[in-house]
Amino acid sequence: MDPFDSNVAANLPRNMIENSMFEEEPDVVDLAKDSAAFPTFPALDPDEVVYEPRSSRLLVRGLGENDMDEDDEDCESSARLLGMSFMNRSSAHRSSSFPYTRQAPPRSCSRPSARTTVVCVLFLVIVASMTMVLYFLPGCTFTKAGCRKTNKTTPFEPVYPLSTNGKLFPWAQFRLPRSVRPLSYDLTLSPDLNNMTFTGRTVITMSVLHNTKIIVLHSAHLNITKATFKLGDQETRDVTVLEYQPRQQIAVQFSEEMKAGQYCVLTLDYSASLSHTYDGFYNSSYIHKDGKKRVLAATQFEPLSARKAFPCFDEPAFKATFLIKISRKPNYMTLSNMPQAKSTQLSNGLMQDEFEKTSVNMSTYLVAFIVADFTPISKNVSETLVSVYSVPEKKEHTDYALYTASKLLEFYNNFFEINYPLKKLDLVAIPDFLAGAMENWGLITFRETTLLVGNQSSPLEKQLVASVIAHELAHQWFGNLVTMSWWNDLWLNEGFATYMQYMSLQKVFPQLDIGNLFLAVRFRALDKDALNSSHAVSTEVNNPEQVEEMFDSVSYEKGASILMMLNAWLPGEQQFRKGIIQYLKQFSGLNTDTEDLWNSLTQVSVSAQHHNVSEMMRSWTSQKGFPLVTVSRKGGQVTLTQEHFLLTSDKATYSSSLWNIPVTYVTDNCSLGHDCIQMFNLKTKSGTLELPESVKWLKLNYKNTGFYIVHYGDEGWAALKDALSSNVHVLTQEDRASLIHNIFALSRLGRVSFYQVLNLLTYMSNETESSPVTEALLQLNVIYRLLDKRQEDSLVSRMKYYILDRFGSLMDKQTWGEEESVSKQELRSALLGSACSLNQENCIQQAKALFKQYDQSNGTSRIPGDLQQVVFTVAAQSNEDWVTLLHMYHTVTYDAEKRKMLRGLASTQDARHIVWILKAGLRGDIIQTQELPLVISTVCNGFAGYLFAWDFIQENWDRLIEKFPLGSYAIQTIINSATSQFSTQAHLDQVQGFFSSLKERGSQMRSVQEALENIRLNQRWMDKNLPTLQKWL
Ligand SMILES: [Zn+2]
């Protein structure tokens, strides 16, 4: 019932706990918990699930049964629970104005007041009356402990909500019943791009798995105009469709049971508006080079929006085949998952395209279709026709994507030993697209920036495109062929695709040097997972908001990190590969959960040492967070101790979690190369390993392939620092970066002083490699920004001199011409970005000169791709150049450059410009609304911007959640960027006050908890470290 982690709830203000408890349809959520396992269909008949009766369960809680501490229960919550049980016991008591949907919670009565007393007395009266009622209720065995058991001979009916037509809706859960299973969908769609509407007909053929009288499926914002039903050989007849909008479900109810083994067909005609957000069947547009607006329609269904385009069983485990027909004007084209089978002229002058029936069973969230006027380029790869589509004038930017997709498709076909199963694969750049890309089977959709690059684009820009393509292609196996049963295991899709994205690029395009980026994202995943508000990789998901929230760094980057750790631990790379081939083959076309993956990997393990992948990996997927390994050494004896690395750590959040950690380490005897790695399995709280006494230092977590942080103790850190000061190359650059990341994290945890951090950084005067430098700059910038926002002016300038002192000479060595190496580009853009943001004169002058040259060249001169961001950001600081940049933003067609211009524009410190750009992003005319999260996060970096942005978010919250779903990655980004730099009590109160006032419009989101936790941590770090900074900077 509690959507929060219980530990988090303990820390929350009272009113937030209550809101979270009562506004999320507590009864229903609880019932849904039991229905997670679904891969094997005939598991249980949900229609026959014996429900714990709502009234009894609520009463047990309300009357103070042991599951809630009496001190924690206040009179209001009990009264409310009782009130709800009254409301729902009998339909006679329901009124259409009060179905049991979300209601505003009554005022808290925990503060004593006259009103409170009245409410509490009233409550006691209600309790007394209820007790009487219950006592005399048949079927309820009344005991001292409450009505715990129902009499089995007269079970309570589950309490059903009301349909829109006032009749009872025959289903009371968030998850659909499993008694009927769809086999195939026949979809006919007729979009009208002039009026932004569409009509549709969906014919669903189903098989009855268990005797039942109902069919329940999803539908959202569809106006169903006609419904017919045919069971087996019987006549087709009209049926009434009931709708329960809060859960986006529709149902058909029959007087007689359908029997297991029967087949039936439901036909639904409907009409709807094309969505004006970024999900469902939505409209999009772009300005053609003739200056006219062109309209198009595209789909984005993951996770819960297929139901907005056609009525369907919209859960990933309901796989079926699809036959799709779409009508269009003759000057448009259509695309869908499968190749086009035929095209027919309709009597109204339109064409109807029919696509082949899908040759595979697939989940609804992977269905896709597009009506547009795009142009393709194509190429045959093995048995598959690969095409890249874009708006016509961007066709010349599609070559790189076609080349990359072809190479990667060949790689995956070989790597997985299963060929991509469809005859065609389209990659389409959509002008309006919120996510980075979407892996629809056979029809992958992208943002223009993640698919289109020019021939002369920089390797860094190509790296982005290649990496998104690699991710989406990996999904054609992980996600599309084998799909998670439910969203709680989203990481099986996303963690895998993320890991494969980096792994495949390292193999196929080593020149793109993707390793540094993967290392950096693993650091960020650790940072986020160190919060108490984090969650287990595999975690319960019981409402739409929680489904959206699964799309976060835990599912993606932590998922990928633990797979990398596992791969490094298994002997030889083939072992891991064999395991996933086994998994893909065994579950091809089916749905799985996490345990299925571990079992497959265990089955192929060769050596006894590695026999139990499940046992090891369960500790990483079933609990949140990760371990801190502390090293203490006495001569040759090294003791390793593990504990939960939890930034917010107090009695309430204490966790005794243990991980099965495949610890790797190297020493000064041998520290570079695979042969130097030594292994130690730390399963218990502590373990001891032996080293020769002569060993001077050891470094754990070789190349940071493990998902843990290491504390070496004062002596251990000092030894490592000495070793690096005399020769940086005693460790790999990944290991150096990992030391830097870990020591900053330990400082945030309070285990090392900031003096120790600065002490380690003294070695950096000899550092020249990208990963350690970018990590150190990033960490120092975080502190610099916090100080800046606290207006600690003297510390800000001292921090600035500290950074310039450490990195100044390296900054001066950077060039401003074209550079081919990816890692040199990464290093240079980080260094020059910092130098210019710290107002280093030389940097500013160079950037201004490049901008001027670019502006005056009429498109003949180019700014190197990796320097564009620095140059545009510097330009945007002057009023005149900001206007010039805005003009360029209007005219430039090349998307990667356009996005950097936008970030430049948003980095302005001019209040008028800040307000303008925030508003423009929300309006979506000049700046696309899809870019608003980017605009907000950039605005928040600057001192002037972050307060404006926070106000803007508060004022426009309702419009924001209209555009971006609650819990979505976009909303997560917005909340995080707006609040992550607050470090005072006043801001904490403000943020807390605002989000708790939102109630069902967002107060329960995990990102809100994360924001509050981050502010408290910032506050704590500042209190503790300001004196150190005063002393040592
Ligand atoms: Zn993905």
d(C-alpha 948, C-alpha 944), whole Å: 7
Which 8-state DSSP code applies to residue 140? Answer: B
**Pairing mode, strands 591-592 and 483-484:** parallel
**Residue 465 alpha carbon to ligand 1 centre in Å:** 14
**234-256 pLDDT, tens per residue?**
999 999 999 999 999 999 999 99
Count CB neighbours of 376 within 10 A.
Answer: 18
Average pLDDT of 733-739?
Answer: 98
Count CB neighbours of 675 within 10 A.
Answer: 6
β-partners of residue 189 are 200, 326
Check: CB of residue 654 under 8 Å from CB of residue 625. Answer: no
**269-297 pLDDT, tens per residue?**
999 999 998 999 999 988 887 888 899 99
- Which amino acid is present at 458? S
What pLDDT was estimated at residue 128? 54
Count CB neighbours of 120 within 10 A.
Answer: 17
Around ion ligand 1, which residues have CB less than 5 A away? 494, 497
The answer to whether residue 4 scores a pLDDT higher than 90 is no
What pLDDT was estimated at residue 91? 32
**Residue 475 alpha carbon to ligand 1 centre in Å:** 7
Q: Specify the higher pLDDT residue, 648 or 904.
A: 904
DSSP assignment string, 277-338 = SSSEEEEEEEE-TTS-EEEEEEEE-TTTTGGGTS-B--STT--BEEEEEEEE-TT-EEEESS
What is the Cα 104 distance to its own chain's centre? 29
Average pLDDT of 981-988?
Answer: 95
Residues of each annotated binding site for Zn(2+): 471, 475, 494
Average pLDDT of 334-346?
Answer: 97
**Residue 584 alpha carbon to ligand 1 centre in Å:** 17
Task: pLDDT band for 14, please (50, 70, 90 cuts).
Answer: very low
Check: CB of residue 848 under 8 Å from CB of residue 875. Answer: yes
Check: CB of residue 651 under 8 Å from CB of residue 11. Answer: no
The answer to whether residue 301 scores a pLDDT higher than 90 is yes
What share of the chain in percent tops pLDDT 70? 84
Task: pLDDT band for 1003, please (50, 70, 90 cuts).
Answer: confident
Average pLDDT of 349-378?
Answer: 96
Average pLDDT of 653-662?
Answer: 86
**Residue 473 alpha carbon to ligand 1 centre in Å:** 9
Residue reference for tokens 């307060």: 947
Q: What residue ranges do the domains of the chain occupy?
A: 629-778, 946-1032
d(C-alpha 728, C-alpha 295), whole Å: 57
The answer to whether residue 546 scores a pLDDT higher than 70 is yes
**Residue 438 alpha carbon to ligand 1 centre in Å:** 7
Q: Which of 243, 315, 356, 472 is catalytic?
A: 472
The answer to whether residue 99 scores a pLDDT higher than 90 is no
Q: Specify the higher pLDDT residue, 991 or 648.
A: 991
Residue reference for tokens 């993967």: 518
Residues of each annotated binding site: 471, 475, 494
**553-572 pLDDT, tens per residue?**
999 999 999 999 999 988 87
**Cα dist from 759 to 99, 767, 787, whole Å:** 63, 14, 20
**Residue 471 alpha carbon to ligand 1 centre in Å:** 6
What pLDDT was estimated at residue 789? 92
Q: Specify the higher pLDDT residue, 629 or 1002.
A: 629
**448-475 pLDDT, tens per residue?**
999 999 877 888 999 999 999 999 999 9
Task: pLDDT band for 82, please (50, 70, 90 cuts).
Answer: very low
What pLDDT was estimated at residue 269? 98
What pLDDT was estimated at residue 381? 96
Task: pLDDT band for 607, please (50, 70, 90 cuts).
Answer: low
**Residue 563 alpha carbon to ligand 1 centre in Å:** 15
CATH top class, domain 629-778: mainly beta
Catalytic (active site) residue 643 = no
**Residue 472 alpha carbon to ligand 1 centre in Å:** 6
What pLDDT was estimated at residue 904? 97
